[in-house]
Amino acid sequence: MSGQTNLENTGKNALEADTAVSAGTPMEHSKFFGPSASHSWLRCPYSAIARNTIPDKSSVYAETGHLAHELCEIKLKLYFSQITAEEYQNRLDAIKAHELFTADMLSNSETYLQTVKELSMEHYTVEPIAYIEQLVRYEDICGEDGFGTSDCVLLGGDTLTVVDYKNGQGVAVSAKNNPQMRLYAYGALHSVVMPFLYDIKKIVMCIVQPNINLISTDVISKDELTDWIETQVKPAVSKIQSGCRDRVPGHWCKDAFCLNYAYCAAWREKFAAVYADYQTEYKDIEIDTLSPDELGELYTKTQELSSWLKKLDKQVEALLKKNVPVKGWKLVAGRSTRVFTDVDKAYEALSEAAKLDKEMFYSRVPLGITEASKLVGKKVFDAACEPYMTKSQGKPAVVPESDPRKAIDASAASDFADMAVPQDKPSDPPNENPQTNTKNQGGN
Ligand code: SF4
């Protein structure tokens, strides 16, 4: 497909251009080998190219995260006496005045500060040196493009600690085997630690994700870190630098927000393979009589394509909204509905006309937990509301058998009605007729 070729060519130029740029001044973000993108570039060489050829747009989530990080930064800097109380107050006032500020950010930054204090006490006999929003470099691996900014680096004795604040609440991020954290740690070892002063043996990595009450820590030795760099990072970097355009699809395409996801040739190939497989393997089966085993097999094959297809939906819509023609599709106006231009004035007029109390046209609805918590901050909310709260049973989720959670006994639960087999399909295992069940049944 011509678009693919163009993208590849542009990608190649981007890498070559970067090699030239890399001799100059450092950039704010690493172009190819940034720690935060390492989840994808370590596994898929082409994702590094895609990051530089497909424009990324800043989102309100990114801006909110940036503001929350700034609050964490000043909290820590004040605690470690790296800014004055006056500077702290001025910056805090500016943060609070920002339209994206929420009271929740204050309690989250407190959690972050508290975690850093606990790490200091747990892993150091005297207060460690703190490097906050610290540029760390690993240019020995990938030239001057090898750098990133760590939220917090703690240094003392034989221990190096890196702490990262995550503002997201969609995906829980673990510090265990986390390449981003390991690259921060290696970068700090390489560019912050003075080897003649510190003989680092232990590496502590901690992710603080207060919006989902998650604090995750991993501890490895310096030797383990060095081994990981040699066996995982260096081969990946050299592949990319040698011009490898391999696309290696997996959960990181979605989880690491690869900008090439909707266009990716690897996903198109996966789609084509499943379709071809379906046409050959299932051609003799009456589709309406799939057994649960056959259904499970088919679901496994198609499941990983579902998020890619959703991405495709969004991409088509995004292009049409930018007036880019997409063959076979167009944008039409949604169904028009009547809306108030001024609901208060309308109901004032209505209450007079109908001779009814105006309040009868309003209902009192309590704020949701998230909204109320954001309004007053999580700490205040939890303290006041805890006695009046309980946990409802979560909606059952279908996951692969490899998932570590224990399967529930659906027959013991009463509220799974919405998971029942649809009424227009047979509700009992349908493959009692061997004539129509030509495919071998796989075991569970
Ligand atoms: S979508 Fe996945 S396979 Fe494709 S370039 Fe991105 S990371 Fe690689």
Going by C-alpha positions, the residue among 145, 144, 128, 165 that lies closest to residue 37 is 145
CA angle 130, 132, 138 (to 5 degrees): 95
The pLDDT tens digits for 339-364 are: 999 999 999 999 999 999 999 999 98
Substitution candidate for ligand 1 out of 56, 246, 260 with most atoms within 8 A of CB: 260
Q: Is 258 in the pocket of ligand 1 (CB under 6 A)?
A: yes
Which band of pLDDT confidence, cut at 50, 70 and 90, is reported for residue 278?
confident
The residue contributing the CA closest to ligand 1 atom 5 is 47
- What spacing in Å lies between the alpha carbon of 62 and ligand 1's midpoint? 21
Compute the distance between CA of residue 186 and CA of residue 194 in angstroms, rounded to an integer. Answer: 13
Atom of ligand 1 nearest to the CA of 47: 5
pLDDT reading at 377 higher than 70: yes
- What spacing in Å lies between the alpha carbon of 52 and ligand 1's midpoint? 13
More confident residue, 172 or 94: 94
- What spacing in Å lies between the alpha carbon of 236 and ligand 1's midpoint? 14
Q: What's at 293, amino acid-wise?
A: D
Q: Is 53 in the pocket of ligand 1 (CB under 6 A)?
A: no
How many residues does this entry show for the chain?
444
Quote the mean pLDDT of the chain: 84
Q: Is 40 in the pocket of ligand 1 (CB under 6 A)?
A: yes
- What spacing in Å lies between the alpha carbon of 58 and ligand 1's midpoint? 20
Tokens in use for 48? Answer: 């590094």
pLDDT confidence of residue 286 = 65
Q: What is the mean pLDDT of residues 315-344?
A: 93
pLDDT confidence of residue 86 = 97
Q: What is the mean pLDDT of residues 165-189?
A: 93
- What spacing in Å lies between the alpha carbon of 226 and ligand 1's midpoint? 27
- What spacing in Å lies between the alpha carbon of 115 and ligand 1's midpoint? 35
Q: Report the run of H or E that residue 236 belongs to, with start and end.
A: helix 234-241
The pLDDT tens digits for 59-77 are: 788 899 999 999 999 999 9
Which band of pLDDT confidence, cut at 50, 70 and 90, is reported for residue 39?
very high
Burial of 151 (C-beta count, 10 Å sphere; 0-12/13-18/19+): buried
pLDDT confidence of residue 412 = 63
Tokens in use for 3? Answer: 């678009």
Atom of ligand 1 nearest to the CA of 249: 3
Specify which of 249-258, 278-287, 406-415 reaches the highest per-range mean pLDDT.
249-258
The residue contributing the CA closest to ligand 1 atom 7 is 253
pLDDT reading at 404 higher than 80: no
Going by C-alpha positions, the residue among 132, 118, 5 that lies closest to residue 74 is 132
pLDDT reading at 397 higher than 50: yes
Category of 152 on φ-ψ map: left (φ > 0), alpha (ψ -120 to 50) or beta: beta
Category of 355 on φ-ψ map: left (φ > 0), alpha (ψ -120 to 50) or beta: left
Q: Is 38 in the pocket of ligand 1 (CB under 6 A)?
A: no
The residue contributing the CA closest to ligand 1 atom 1 is 261
Going by C-alpha positions, the residue among 52, 56, 17 that lies closest to residue 33 is 52
The residue contributing the CA closest to ligand 1 atom 2 is 253
Q: Is 37 in the pocket of ligand 1 (CB under 6 A)?
A: no
The residue contributing the CA closest to ligand 1 atom 3 is 249
Q: Is 240 in the pocket of ligand 1 (CB under 6 A)?
A: no
Q: Is 248 in the pocket of ligand 1 (CB under 6 A)?
A: yes
Compute the distance between CA of residue 26 and CA of residue 179 in angstroms, rounded to an integer. Answer: 22
Q: What's at 91, amino acid-wise?
A: R
Q: What structural domains and CATH numbers belong to the chain? A: 54-241 (3.90.320), 265-321 (no CATH), 343-388 (no CATH)
Calculate what percentage of the chain has a pLDDT beyond 70.
Answer: 84
